[in-house]
Amino acid sequence: MAKQLSISQISLSNYETSKRFPDTNFLEKLHSLYKVDLNWLISGEGRMHNFPEGKHKEIAETANKLMELLRGKR
Does residue 29 lie in a domain region?
Answer: yes
Domains held by the chain: number: 1
Does residue 48 lie in a domain region?
Answer: yes
Domain range for 42: 9-70
pLDDT at 37 over 90: no
| CB-based burial, 25-41: b 16+ in 10 Å, e otherwise | ebeebbbeebbbbeebb
What CA–CA distance (Å, rounded) separates 73 from 53?
Answer: 24
With a CB cutoff of 8 Å and minimum separation 6, the contacts of 41 are 27, 30, 31
Does residue 26 lie in a domain region?
Answer: yes
Residue 19 — very low, low, confident or very high, per pLDDT cuts 50/70/90?
Answer: very high
pLDDT at 48 over 60: yes
Residue bearing the bigger pLDDT, 62 or 30: 30
